[in-house]
Amino acid sequence: MANTQKAMMIVDKHYKTGKVDPRLYGSFIEHLGRAVYEGIYEPDHPKADVRGFRKDVLELVCELNVPIVRYPGGNFVSGYNWEDGIGPVEERPSRLELAWRVIETNEVGLNEFCEWANKVNTEVMMAVNLGTRGIQDAKNILEYCNHPGGTYWSDLRKKHGYRDPYNIKVWCLGNEMDGPWQIGHKTAEEYGRIAYETAKVMKWVDPEIELVACGSSSSKMPTFPEWEATVLEHTYDYVDYLSLHIYYGNQDNDTPNFLANSLDMDEFIKTVISTCDYVKAKKRSKKKINLSFDEWNVWYHSNEADSKLEPWSIAPHQLEDIYNLEDALLIGCMLITLLKHADRVKIGCLAQLVNVIAPIMTEKGGLAWRQTIYYPFMHASNYGRGTVLNPIIDAPKYDTKDYMDVPIIEAIAVENDDKDELTIFAVNRDMEDGVDLECTIAGYEGYKIKEHIVLDGDDVKASNTLENPNRIVPRNLSNAQIDGEMLFVNLPRLSWNVIRLTK
Ligand code: AHR
């Protein structure tokens, strides 16, 4: 018979971590696999709009309420000629794309992507190629995108039919330049120098932009965190954010250990914050560098299938992880971890958005559906805006292969002043038992329960598929109760919970 565990949490209206930057709920579209072609863009699809964008995908993206989308890569950007993707489509070249060993047709380029971004009400976060290219090309693409007119590149944009500048605000200085797999991989010194010179020139072209320097491509890299320190020594005065990337997998089929990976993410963030502040102190600088966690997700299900792909096809099924319930629970824990650091992590990009390690999947010519990980992201993006409150949590703990003292409960609270709402996000990692959570909500007397949404299920390995797209969907529970400044709620075993309170 299942037992019930007990946990305590204290949330106080006055104990604030900081405001959530809405860009924490960003995502990522790379020219990779079927993210663009057959993903956001499929002109022959019955639901395509006049520009060839799938309206069913547009709707699902809008539901996620994604405020910023990184583009066009990823590893792809390190070999990309952005000029291949502008001008008349019939004149655009097909190229060997070396990062993913496919053929890129360039049917979609930056103008089409900006049109798509406009349709889903999102900002573009543009990456420049610092693998095979450098200062001049970064300057040119910025001039094409952001300069009002009267120069070669800005007038070319107008000639292409896009009169107004895009005023793209956030720009990434390359991608994962610390990784030997990257086209044009660099040492920290080499990257620090080119990133500094590129940043300097880009800010001369448009002083309003914000720049993201590449941090390590994961905390497991042998050069981490020395890479961060060296890169910032060079770039500190010209950049605004340092990037972090991480992907987790459950290759060993060890669910308790897998669900504890957000502790590693937490440690990663803390180390990067410390490194940024170390360089700040060394430089006697008043400026603070914030964090852009611009790639994070679960990624491992598709590795074997991808290793068997023949090279040089167009838009193959690449990185098409089919996510299960336990993946959604880890995504919930990772979202909570990002929120815990909302004072320093200003941008986050769930990598990626459609088909490629994505919350949204599509069938060519057919349906679009929501993966399990879609739901925690949608809930956090829609209800996790406002001010993060720093909670105190006392919960039973467990040890795993890689982690000690893993609390069975991961939780955070976000207050939305505009709507008089307080939302608690919580994951119960316990494999067997539900947890009775007693939560003090100091300063929220008179609040009532609006809803308690739960994502759980009888099988933690169950997935949504084309054939059964609603196998794992959220449901509403009604066991939560409030008495004065106390909230009592049962969190089912292995569950993601959203408890929405309102005045
Ligand atoms: O998101 C998939 C890939 O993961 C990206 O192209 C790269 O930046 C990272 O290694």
Positions of the chain with pLDDT under 50: none
Query: Could you report how far apart the first and last alpha carbons of the chain are, in Å?
Result: 38
Active site positions, annotated: 176, 295
- At residue 1, the pLDDT reads 52
Q: What is the CA angle 433-438-440, rounded to 5?
A: 155
Please list, residue by residue across 445-478, b when 16 or more beta carbons sit within 10 angstroms of its beta carbon and e when fewer do: eebebbebbbbbbeebeebbeeeebeebebeebe
Is 30 a pocket residue for ligand 1 (Cβ < 6 Å)?
A: yes
Residue of the CA atom closest to atom 5 of ligand 1? 74
Q: Which atom of ligand 1 is nearest to the CA of 351?
A: 1
Residue of the CA atom closest to atom 8 of ligand 1? 74
How many CA atoms, within 13 angstroms, populate the side-chain half-sphere of residue 39? 30
Please list, residue by residue across 109-140, b when 16 or more beta carbons sit within 10 angstroms of its beta carbon and e when fewer do: bbbbbbebbeebebbbbbbbbbbebbbebbbb
Is 75 a pocket residue for ligand 1 (Cβ < 6 Å)?
A: yes
Site to probe by mutation for ligand 1, drawn from 75, 102, 130, 303 as the one with most ligand atoms within 8 Å of Cβ, is 75
- At residue 417, the pLDDT reads 82
Residue of the CA atom closest to atom 4 of ligand 1? 74
Residue of the CA atom closest to atom 7 of ligand 1? 74
Tokens standing for 4?
């019930």
Q: Which atom of ligand 1 is nearest to the CA of 217?
A: 10
> If you measure from the C-alpha of residue 74 to the centroid of ligand 1, how many angstroms do you get, rounded to a whole number?
5
- At residue 3, the pLDDT reads 82
DSSP alpha helices (H): ranges in 325-428? 325-340, 374-383
Q: Give the residue among 142, 297, 289 at the shortest CA–CA distance from 207.
A: 142
How far is it, in rounded angstroms, from Cα 93 to Cα 105?
7
> If you measure from the C-alpha of residue 117 to the centroid of ligand 1, how many angstroms do you get, rounded to a whole number?
20
- The backbone torsions φ and ψ at residue 201, rounded to the nearest 5 degrees and listed phi first, read -70, -40
Contact 34, 77 (CB under 8 A): no
* Residue partners of 143: CB distance under 8 A and separation at least 6: 151, 152, 153, 154, 205
Distance of CA 447 to the CA centre of its chain: 32
Contact 298, 327 (CB under 8 A): yes
Is 122 a pocket residue for ligand 1 (Cβ < 6 Å)?
A: no
Is 56 a pocket residue for ligand 1 (Cβ < 6 Å)?
A: no
> If you measure from the C-alpha of residue 13 to the centroid of ligand 1, how many angstroms do you get, rounded to a whole number?
39
Q: What is the CA angle 224-260-30, rounded to 5?
A: 60
How far is it, in rounded angstroms, from Cα 223 to Cα 200?
25
- At residue 418, the pLDDT reads 86
Q: What are the pLDDT digits (tens) for 318-372? A: 999 999 999 999 999 999 999 999 999 999 999 999 999 999 999 999 999 999 9
Site to probe by mutation for ligand 1, drawn from 71, 77, 176 as the one with most ligand atoms within 8 Å of Cβ, is 176
How far is it, in rounded angstroms, from Cα 410 to Cα 262?
9
Is 175 a pocket residue for ligand 1 (Cβ < 6 Å)?
A: yes
- At residue 2, the pLDDT reads 63
Is 174 a pocket residue for ligand 1 (Cβ < 6 Å)?
A: no
Residue of the CA atom closest to atom 6 of ligand 1? 74
How far is it, in rounded angstroms, from Cα 70 to Cα 127?
7
How far is it, in rounded angstroms, from Cα 419 to Cα 290?
28
Residue of the CA atom closest to atom 2 of ligand 1? 74
How far is it, in rounded angstroms, from Cα 11 to Cα 31?
43
DSSP labels, 474-503: -EEE---EEETTEEEEEE-SSEEEEEEEE-
Coil, strand or helix at 5: strand
DSSP alpha helices (H): ranges in 300-433? 303-307, 325-340, 374-383
Is 294 a pocket residue for ligand 1 (Cβ < 6 Å)?
A: no
Model-level pTM greater than 0.95?
A: yes
Site to probe by mutation for ligand 1, drawn from 36, 69, 295, 298 as the one with most ligand atoms within 8 Å of Cβ, is 295
Site to probe by mutation for ligand 1, drawn from 27, 29, 30, 300 as the one with most ligand atoms within 8 Å of Cβ, is 30
How far is it, in rounded angstroms, from Cα 469 to Cα 60?
13
